[in-house]
Structures are given as C-alpha cells and as structure tokens.
Structure 1
Amino acid sequence: MSEEAFRLLIVDDEPNIRSGLAKGLKREVDELDTAADADEAIAKFAATDYQLAIVDVRLNCNITGIELVRQMLSQRPQTTVIVITAHGTVETAVDAMRAGAFDFIAKPLDLNLVRQQVAKARAHHLLQSENSRLRSELAGAGEISGIIGGSAAMQSVYHQIRQVASTEATVMIQGESGTGKELIARAVHDLSDRSAGPFIAVNLGAMPETLLESELFGHEKGSFSGASRQKPGCFEQAAGGTLFLDEVTEMSAKSQVDLLRVLESQQFTRVGGESVLTADARIVSATNRSVATLIEEGTFREDLYYRLNVIPIEVPSLRQRGDDIPLLVEHFLRLFCDRHRRSQKTLDRDAMTMMAQARWPGNVRQLRNVIERMVVTHTGDTITAADLPRELSVASTGVSPTNQSLAEAVEACERSIISAALAECNCHREKTAQRLGVSIRTLHYKMGRYGLH
C-alpha cells in the first residue's frame, strides 16, 4: 500500500523561527508551507489537506494559537497539531492538550526534538490511516451475519452460503476448532426462508448419552427420575427454523441411530411419550474431525453421514486466510474496548506483523482470546510486539528467541500448546487433558504454573 503525502504547515509570527523550522524539517515531510499569522494559516489550511501543523501559542493577531488550534481541528479533526511557545507553563500545556494538540514543545526549540516529534506524529497519522482503512474494509467484509473476512478463502464460503441458504438441503460444516462454524450455520439460517423461525444450537459433544435423547426429542412428565414436567426437545423448539447440531461426530452409536431415524421419517416421539410428532426443522451440522476416518474406524455411520452431508461447507483455518487477520484484530479491539469500557487501542505495525505470522492453532477463537486479554491487561493505547503473549513470538518463528535458555524455550512451547488445546476444546478441561494425553491433575498443575485460567 502506497503512503499518502505527508504535509506540514508551520505557523509562527517570527520569520527566523519559520525559516529555521522549514529548513530543518524539509526532509522529514513531503510538502511544507508556512504562515505568519492566523488569517494566513486559516486560508492555507482550508485550501490544503495538512496532516501536521506546528503552531506557536502567541501570535501577533486577534486570536491565540490555542484558539487557532481549535478552529483547525474543528475543520479537520484528523490533523495532528504540535504547539510551541516561549512561555512554557503547565497551564499552557494543559490548555493546548484540551484544545486537541498532539504534543507541546517549549522554546528555545531543540531541532532534534522537533524532528523526533514530527516523526512520531507521522507514525501516528500512518497508524490512524491504516485503522481507518481497516474499518472501511471491515464495514464491507462482514456482510453475512457478522462474519468478518474478505479473503478469497472466505469469499468462497460466502458463495456457498448464498447458494445453499434458499434450499431445504441439510448442510454439514467442517473445519478446525475455533474457525467459526456456528457463525456459518447462523448465516445459512439468516439467509434462508426460515430466517423468521428459531435458530437452536446444541453441542452434542458436551452432552452425555443419557441426556441427549431427552435434549433432542424432549420428554413427558414422569418419564424418568427428575422429569417433573413435560419438556419439548430441540426438534420441537426449532420447528419452522434451523437446528444446528455441533460436534455431531461425537454422538454414540445409539444416538446416531435415533438421529438417522428422524432424518429419514421426519417423525419422532418424546421420551416416555406415545404421540408421534413431526420434525419441521432444517438440519445443519458441524464437526472438526475427519468424517472419512471415523467411518473407516467404524465409529460413525456412513448412512448418517450421507444424510447430513448433502451440502458440505469447508471453513478455512486462520492460517489459510491470513489476509483477514488485520480485519479480525480491528473488529475484536473495538468489540472488547467497548465491552470492558477501555479507551480504544491499536496495534503497531510490528505487533500486527507478529499476529499475521503466528500459527493460530486455535484459529479465530484463539485470536479473539488474545485480543480480549490485551484489552483488559494493557494500560496504554498502542499495543506493541513486546506486549503480545510470549507464545505468539515462538509460534510465529517456529523457534525460541536466541536470548532464551533451553528450559525457557521448552516452557514457552508447552504453554503455547496447552493454550491452543484449551481454545480448541472450548476450555473444557477433561477434553483438553484427553487431547494432550495427560491426566486432569497434570493439566491443572500446568495451567496454574503458566497462568492459564
């Protein structure tokens, strides 16, 4: 992306100051103008888009430099203004900042200091421009049910969603954990003729078999111990809408048979009941596992797979859609700054580069977690690469930094692996322990050691 011209306006009633600054700063900017008073400054400011203005507080005219700053910023708020004065008091500095000044420099001027401030202002402007560009892209990227992403990989997903939404075909969404499969399912629902109906989501992997039948099909009062009232199941609740079955490959053999029967007959009965009810819900399922492998292993029914997988949608991992990372970062920064009542934060270029190069085994869910953590714990408005979690640095390079000991590198790698596994398993500790091949006690110890709570 090419950088736009960076223009500077110097406003000072002393000719020597104007010429000295103009000569000393001409290499720091692309274009430079000067003004001897407020009237000249206002006229030039109205005619030219200046990214930076250096304004003296005391001008030999009817308004002060502070008032000039207010007028400039009311006309063009994105301009950065640096105030200079020979009367450097705390009160003057406070007035300048209240008027919207970016910084305050006292005379006699140190040209090197001024150059540093100009460079700082230029970097600030560049960051603002980049954030503005990202917001513009963000406004157009999440055009389907709040999904963020304009990459080619996501455009392909959008095309599939639009193709299938208006039909009644069952959809199976496949992709790694944390890629946003439920968002895709919601998008299918929102663009369908059933959008006015309910969207009911149930996580089959987090539910024991003894409760799953009742959860899906409902139960009658007294049908089992604790059934104190009649309860409609997910199929009834989703009538006229969409039923999203997440982690569908985690179902037991019996539950698979029960689901297949409903899909084939479009009928079911509540647990303990006799009345036959009609299933009027569109089925969208999702899994993060290889269904072909499960069928070969005999743990998932092939006939059920064909019933569920009429229309397959493959969701790309975050590694496959790296162009979307800046958009996602900007989105989550705004979301969590608003949610946690923090001032708006930004990532500098090095931090954004590290985010883009990280492996993200936990995908968008992991990125979201990292951004929320930074919003809550970081005190400044700009997040640098040094502020990011250590595991991102290790993950982006594939090796530990050279100033780490072997033990430190091993710990950083272990922390990264555990953090990613937690993200993939939705922070379900028993599943995480199983995924990592350790006992739940060992996982708790490691989480405490690395602060992963």
Structure 2
Amino acid sequence: MKSSEFSVLIVDDEPNIRSGLAKGLKGEAERVDIASDAEEALAKFEQWSYPLVIADVRLGGKIDGIELVRQTAHKYPETAVIVITAHGTVETAVDAMRAGAFDFISKPLDLNLVRQQVRKARQHYELRIENQQLRSRLADAGQISNILGTCAAMQDVFHQIRQVATTEATVMIQGESGTGKELIARAVHDLSPRNGGPFVAVNLGAMPESLLESELFGHEKGSFSGASRQKPGCFEQASGGTLFLDEVTEMSAKSQVDLLRVLESGQFIRVGGEELLSANVRIVSATNKSVPALIDDGSFREDLFYRLNVIPIEVPSLRQRREDIPLLVEHFLNHFCDRHGRPLKQISPEAMQTLVAAPWPGNVRQLRNVVERMVVTHTDAIIHDHQLPLELQQKSGSNSRATLACTLSDAVEHCERETISAALAACDCHRENTAKRLGISIRTLHYKMGRYGLH
C-alpha cells in the first residue's frame, strides 16, 4: 500500500532508541514505523512510502546507515534521510551528506532538535506536493512551460513543441511581435535533453553589425581597439545548451554568410584568433517577418533559411486565439496583484467583452502591459469597462460592441467567426493557406467552418 501522507520510518538497532523516537514523534507525522536494520527498512518500502527516514549510521546487518542513504537516494529519490551519528564524528556526517542525506543529528539525541529536523523535512515534503499539484492544475488549464493557451491553435503549438523538443533539430519560430516566441524557444529548451545546459538569447536586430561577429563568436585579447581581454561569444556561452537567435532576419548579408558557415561546419573561430572551436549548441531562431518575401527581394539567403527552418513553428497572433484572452487576463491579474501587493481584482463581463474584441496589435505583450496598468492604477475590486485604457474602448467601437452577444462565449465565437471568414476571403477560400494564415491545423479549420456555417 502506498500513501501520500507524511510518514516517518525510524531505523536503529537499539530498541530503546527506536521506541523512544517513535513515541516522541507521534505528533509530528500521521504515521511512524520502525525497523531494526537496513534490510527490514528497505522491505517496508514495498508496502508503504516514507517521505522521511531517520537512521543510525551504525546498524546491525550487512548494510550500514551510509549505504542505506545511497540505496534510498537511488530507489526513492523523493525520500529524505536524516542520519544519527556518534558525537564528534564529523567525517561520518560529511560522508552521509555526500551520499545524499537530508541532514544529520549527533548523539546524545536531543528530542526537541529531532522534532525541529522532522518539521523542516515535512515543510520540504509539503512544498514539493504543493508544487506538483500546482503544475497539474496549470497543465489542466492548458499550459506548457510558461505558455498558456487552450485554443486549438495553441494546442497545435504545444504538440509541435513536445515533438521537436526531444530531438536536436533546428527550429525556426515565426509570428508577430509580442506573441511569445522567446517563451516557446525556452519551452523547447526546457523539455529537451539539453535542459541542464545554458539557454542563451541574443537579439540580432538590436546588435550593430560591427559588434555582431564578436558577440556570436567571441574575440581574442587585442583583436581590435578596446578588446582588453579574451571574450567568449554566444556560441561558447551556450555550449551544451540552446542558442536562441531572435530577429534572425535582421542580419546583414555578411553575418548571414558567417552564420551559415557555422551551421554547415559546426565550427567557428574567435575574432582575431586561429583556434578552430566546435559549436556544441542547438539553434532556435525567430522572426516576425515573412521570410519568403525577404528571400524574393534578396535580403535573406534562401540556403540559410533552409538551414534554420528544419522545424517551423507558427505562433498565432492574439487575434487568432481570442478564446484564450479570458484565461490570460486572469493569469496576469493574479500575477500582478501578487507582484505589486494589491488585493485580487476581477474584470466585469462588459470589460472582458471589450478585451476579447480589441485588435491587440501588440499581442500578448500588449495585453500583459494593459493588465498590469489596470492593477497598478485602479483600487476597485472590480475593473469595469469604462476603466479600461481609452484606446481599447475606442478601437473596440460601440458598433462592434453592439453586435456582440451578452455572454463571453458568444463574444468569443463572434470574433472567431469573423476572423476565419476574413482569412478565407484573403486566401481566396484556399483552405490550406487559410489554416496556415490562422496558425491552426487544416482539421481544426474544417471543424470550425462547419460549426460557423462557412463554406
């Protein structure tokens, strides 16, 4: 039988210590069990789960306390082990900690000190359970890493992230500014085997061409004026991890050639250097521009695009995922109320309709800023429509608002139908192009067309 309650297992070959600790800890745990040696303790794990074990270093039997710590850490990594050591045996305590012990207590035992250690272990256990439950709730709400979304378009993005994360494939993320492209890049990294390595982000659009080569590949001391020391570049800093190249389409022609050379060879040289270095990184890039159009006008290399665009991920705009706006608003409200020390606030139904119907040219970033502004500037517990930023009220328009039904779900459906209809018209009713423009699968498009009577 397994249990999620806080249970303690006491392991000691001295009956008086076993019984004394068991009696003294009755109020600190829902269950306290005892074992006379390590073999009996490990057998008890087959019937019950113990968040905490208290074991003497010296035990009768073939397994001593240090080895029990090692085996417990290997088989039951979420179990904390507090070891009991003889007075003044510092080396033994150090060995126990290196083996994975949570803490140690020296003899003669002070029951009050033991209780304090047990409470500390229990706090760690309860915090871990709370975090697991929180992650589960967020997953049910539609979340991967720090990205929220329950609409079909975002579920498609989540599916792509999970598929590509476990590979070494190069990823290009495309979407409007403010849609969360860096969050998606971080999610790919966090779910990948490289998540123990660094995630290094560089904004190529904000980097002068004269500094870009040094920023990416590093430089040697004295290689140019002001180079007073050797400096590793982003490729070295991200070694073993992920290098995120944001606004990759802003690179100059020369920089594109330099990057292409590294992607093809997997090697680079620092500015002013001679040593050939290996690029042990995974490349994830992003752009808010139409790359095919840039290729057509000659401002972006087609061969570089194919190197970067092995796995494309299209991020929908906020206008294409309006049904996620209430979820995002609630998330940002809770976040900023906590961050700024404000009481929790709510959005009135009318205000939420306005938020859902707004054009959001700045996408999720703009919505996040608007919610933070409302949290900081309004003291009311409920934020009403007239308290929203004026530009949102004006752009929503009274005529547009009058066409919305009085419920939030009706408002979302109205906006979604209009968006799909406009996209179909723009793509001359070509369904594959329409689905790509909307950032959804062709299957999702067919379903929504049937739902809204769009043929």
Q: TM-score, normalization: structure 2?
A: 0.57
Structure 1: distance between partners of 2:401 and 2:349:
20
**Which residue of structure 1 lines up, in the alignment, with residue 204 of structure 2?**
204
Tell whether 2:344 aligns with 1:365: no
- Judged with a 3 Å threshold, the aligned counterparts in structure 2 of structure 1 residues 376 and 152 are, in CA distance, closer, same or farther, namely same
Matches within 5 A, 1:31-50: none
Structure 2: distance between partners of 1:342 and 1:389:
19
Secondary structure at the aligned position of 1:260 is classed as helix
The percentage of counterpart residues that share the same residue type is 76
Q: Please say if residues 201 and 243 of structure 2, whose CA atoms lie closer than 8 Å, have aligned partners that are also in contact.
A: yes
**Which residue of structure 1 lines up, in the alignment, with residue 303 of structure 2?**
303
Secondary structure at the aligned position of 1:232 is classed as coil
Q: Please say if residues 137 and 327 of structure 1, whose CA atoms lie closer than 8 Å, have aligned partners that are also in contact.
A: no
Q: Please say if residues 151 and 324 of structure 1, whose CA atoms lie closer than 8 Å, have aligned partners that are also in contact.
A: yes
Structure 2: distance between partners of 1:169 and 1:398:
48
Q: Which amino acid aligns with 1:184?
A: I
Secondary structure at the aligned position of 1:341 is classed as coil
**Which residue of structure 2 lines up, in the alignment, with residue 313 of structure 1?**
313
**Which residue of structure 1 lines up, in the alignment, with residue 288 of structure 2?**
288
Q: Please say if residues 138 and 331 of structure 1, whose CA atoms lie closer than 8 Å, have aligned partners that are also in contact.
A: no
Structure 1: distance between partners of 2:231 and 2:326:
45
Q: Deviations over 1:262-290 (max 9, x none)?
A: 00000001111110000000000000000
Matches within 5 A, 1:205-224: 205-224=205-224
Structure 2: distance between partners of 1:336 and 1:401:
28
- Judged with a 3 Å threshold, the aligned counterparts in structure 2 of structure 1 residues 138 and 321 are, in CA distance, closer, same or farther, namely farther
Once the two structures are overlaid, the 10-residue window that deviates more, 142-151 or 223-232, is 142-151
Compute the RMSD of aligned alpha carbons.
1.9
Structure 2: distance between partners of 1:197 and 1:303:
29
Structure 2: distance between partners of 1:230 and 1:136:
46
Aligned-residue offset at 1:379: 1.4
Secondary structure at the aligned position of 2:147 is classed as coil
- Judged with a 3 Å threshold, the aligned counterparts in structure 2 of structure 1 residues 304 and 254 are, in CA distance, closer, same or farther, namely same
Structure 1: distance between partners of 2:394 and 2:160:
36
Q: Please say if residues 268 and 279 of structure 1, whose CA atoms lie closer than 8 Å, have aligned partners that are also in contact.
A: yes
Structure 2: distance between partners of 1:370 and 1:218:
39
Matches within 5 A, 1:238-277: 238-277=238-277
Q: Which amino acid aligns with 2:248?
A: V
Once the two structures are overlaid, the 10-residue window that deviates more, 262-271 or 386-395, is 386-395
Q: TM-score, normalization: structure 1?
A: 0.57
- Judged with a 3 Å threshold, the aligned counterparts in structure 2 of structure 1 residues 140 and 400 are, in CA distance, closer, same or farther, namely closer
Secondary structure at the aligned position of 2:286 is classed as strand
Q: Please say if residues 174 and 289 of structure 2, whose CA atoms lie closer than 8 Å, have aligned partners that are also in contact.
A: yes
**Which residue of structure 2 lines up, in the alignment, with residue 348 of structure 1?**
348
Structure 2: distance between partners of 1:140 and 1:229:
50
Q: Deviations over 1:317-371 (max 9, x none)?
A: 0011111101100111111111111111110111111111111110000000100
Matches within 5 A, 1:35-114: none
Structure 1: distance between partners of 2:257 and 2:188:
26
Q: Which amino acid aligns with 1:351?
A: A
Tell whether 2:392 aligns with 1:392: yes
Tell whether 2:332 aligns with 1:335: no
Tell whether 2:225 aligns with 1:225: yes
Q: Deviations over 1:197-219 (max 9, x none)?
A: 11000000001001111110001
Aligned-residue offset at 1:139: 5.5
- Judged with a 3 Å threshold, the aligned counterparts in structure 2 of structure 1 residues 183 and 196 are, in CA distance, closer, same or farther, namely same
Aligned-residue offset at 1:138: 4.8
Q: Please say if residues 157 and 315 of structure 2, whose CA atoms lie closer than 8 Å, have aligned partners that are also in contact.
A: yes
**Which residue of structure 1 lines up, in the alignment, with residue 121 of structure 2?**
none
**Which residue of structure 2 lines up, in the alignment, with residue 188 of structure 1?**
188
Q: Please say if residues 394 and 400 of structure 1, whose CA atoms lie closer than 8 Å, have aligned partners that are also in contact.
A: no
Structure 1: distance between partners of 2:181 and 2:265:
27
Structure 1's unaligned 5+ residue stretches are 1-134, 403-453
Tell whether 2:146 aligns with 1:146: yes
Structure 2: distance between partners of 1:139 and 1:168:
25
Q: Please say if residues 174 and 313 of structure 1, whose CA atoms lie closer than 8 Å, have aligned partners that are also in contact.
A: yes
Q: Deviations over 1:238-273 (max 9, x none)?
A: 111000000000000000000000000000011111
Q: Number of residues paired by the alignment? A: 268
Q: Deviations over 1:20-63 (max 9, x none)?
A: xxxxxxxxxxxxxxxxxxxxxxxxxxxxxxxxxxxxxxxxxxxx
Q: Deviations over 1:368-419 (max 9, x none)?
A: 01001111111111100010001111222387999xxxxxxxxxxxxxxxxx
Secondary structure at the aligned position of 1:201 is classed as strand
- Judged with a 3 Å threshold, the aligned counterparts in structure 2 of structure 1 residues 354 and 400 are, in CA distance, closer, same or farther, namely closer
